[in-house]
Amino acid sequence: MELKRVVVTGMGMITAVGNDIPTCWANLVAGHSGAGPVTHFDVTNFKTKFACEVKNYDFSTLFDRKELRRYDRYALLAIAASDEAIKNAQLTITPEQAHRYGVIYGSGMGGLHTLNDGIAEFTTGDGTPRFSPFFITRVISNIAPGILAIRYGCKGINFSTASACASSSHAIANAFHYIRLGMADVMITGGSEAVIEFSAVGGFNAIHALSTRNDDPKTASRPFSGSRDGFVLGEGAATLVLEEYEHAIARGATIYAELVGAGMTSDAYHITASDPEGKGAAQAMQLAIQEAGITPQDIDYINTHGTSTHVGDISEVKAIKQVFGEHAYNINLTSSKSMTGHLLGSTGAVEAVISILSMQHQMVTPTINHEDGDNDPEIDYNLNFTFNKPQSRNIHYAMSNNYGFGGHNACLIFKKLQNF
């Protein structure tokens, strides 16, 4: 069977550095951090008091206030990003085509805000259950793709992925393969996360995963630097419209990139820590390269997982050097999380969009907050981490890596099409 080609024809994004793609891109290139004091709950007694929150988005532009009550924040973020992507793709779905259009969307933790509120209300009350009739549908993580399918009229493949910080990369990879196999013409895919909540911050603090640099939040996320002390929690969503190449050409769609490879593996090592030698991550990259039909030397850019955690950053560098050898020194590496924070289940989709924008603009966004001499003896600084300033770069192939608790590894490779 001849495999289909898959292209990206629409994108949308909402993060702490912007509520749409143009704003996000401008702030990323400028090296602006989205970190600031937490406003979603009282952090007085918490070790970490800051995060990368989405700011000043008016969700009433999506629905009337009565309808808004039906959805958790993570679902609203998914809708915001997806509306931008659908508009960007100039996509119209007719009833005759609907069964060939699907949605696969990722979230690591789903409606945590609703879960927290519902339990808190019950446990502080008189024991009488007074849960909202929307409680269950606001909490479950598969409701986002369900809502998106209803909103746009997609009657094809529809499900969610949950693999911690690899969730949305897995969603994109699955959507890619369904189109490759001829089972869909268009897939709306990506991920959303909204867990700047007391339970998430408290839980991540308990395992010493979050930065506690409360005196200067904007410099707290410092991937690959010696003084890094954990990640900065973020929130947001990103959506890609994936489309079979001939289908896109037939409708005159703008093509932003071609998705050519996806690799997925498991460390089978530890529930939270990555394999210290990066073996699973390396294998995911190798599988993606193999599916793309290219060599490691073809990769120009890697949007690293780069969370600013001690073990994770070291193991990822080891994995990259295993796969690319001497060519690793020719690649621009970058960590968007230094600015957006770590968006957990939606981080893969956000970074996929950033990778495509980098190809489109031939510009690598910086890994901010590195200071001269702030080096980790276990990291090779002859590699180009694109520290602090953006760099112009001719990017033909871009790779995006994401790894999640549980040992989940995912890698995506995008190709720039010369005629678009």
Q: What is the pLDDT of residue 127?
A: 87
- The two tokens of residue 121 are 């209300």
* Residue 341 Ramachandran class (φ > 0 left, ψ -120 to 50 alpha, else beta): left
Mean pLDDT of 10-24: 98
Q: Give the global pTM.
A: 0.97
Mean pLDDT of 275-281: 94
Mean pLDDT of 97-108: 98
For residue 246, give the 3-state DSSP assignment: helix
Name the DSSP letter for residue 80.
H
Mean pLDDT of 97-116: 96
Mean pLDDT of 198-204: 97
Query: For residue 64, what is the domain's CATH number?
Result: 3.40.47.10
Mean pLDDT of 270-294: 95
Question: Are residues 401 and 303 in contact, defined by beta-carbon separation less than 8 angstroms?
Answer: yes
DSSP run (H or E) holding 191: strand 186-193
Instruction: Spot the catalytic one: 52, 165, 247, 370.
Output: 165
Number of independent structural domains in the chain = 1
Least trusted range by pLDDT, from 116-130, 209-223, 336-350: 116-130
Please report which confidence band the pLDDT of residue 63 belongs to, taking 50, 70 and 90 as the band edges.
confident
Establish whether 342 is a catalytic residue. Answer: yes
Q: Evaluate whether residue 267 is within a structural domain.
A: yes
User: How far, CA to CA in Å, does 27 sit from each of 18, 55, 78, 80, 170?
Assistant: 7, 14, 21, 19, 27
Beta-ladder partners of 188? 103, 241
Mean pLDDT of 198-211: 97
Q: Evaluate whether residue 138 is within a structural domain.
A: yes
Quick check: 241 pLDDT over 60?
A: yes
Distance of CA 411 to the CA centre of its chain: 12
Please report which confidence band the pLDDT of residue 285 belongs to, taking 50, 70 and 90 as the band edges.
very high
Mean pLDDT of 361-383: 98
Instruction: Spot the catalytic one: 113, 170, 247, 342.
Output: 342
Please report which confidence band the pLDDT of residue 419 belongs to, taking 50, 70 and 90 as the band edges.
low
Q: Evaluate whether residue 420 is within a structural domain.
A: no
Quick check: 420 pLDDT over 60?
A: no
Q: Evaluate whether residue 1 is within a structural domain.
A: no
Instruction: Spot the catalytic one: 113, 170, 247, 305.
Output: 305
Mean pLDDT of 92-116: 96
pLDDT per residue over 375-396, tens digit each?
Answer: 999 999 999 999 999 999 999 9
Q: What is the pLDDT of residue 258?
A: 98
Question: Are residues 127 and 98 in contact, defined by beta-carbon separation less than 8 angstroms?
Answer: no
Q: What are phi and psi of 145, to 5 degrees?
A: -65, -30
Question: Are residues 316 and 403 in contact, defined by beta-carbon separation less than 8 angstroms?
Answer: yes
> Which has more pLDDT, 65 or 233?
233
Please report which confidence band the pLDDT of residue 242 belongs to, taking 50, 70 and 90 as the band edges.
very high
Structural domain for 50, as ranges = 6-415
Q: Evaluate whether residue 104 is within a structural domain.
A: yes
pLDDT per residue over 321-349, tens digit each?
Answer: 999 999 999 999 999 999 999 999 999 99
E strand intervals along 24-116: 36-37, 50-51, 101-106
Question: Are residues 96 and 155 in contact, defined by beta-carbon separation less than 8 angstroms?
Answer: no
Q: Evaluate whether residue 386 is within a structural domain.
A: yes
What's the whole-number average pLDDT of the chain? 96
Quick check: 66 pLDDT over 90?
A: no
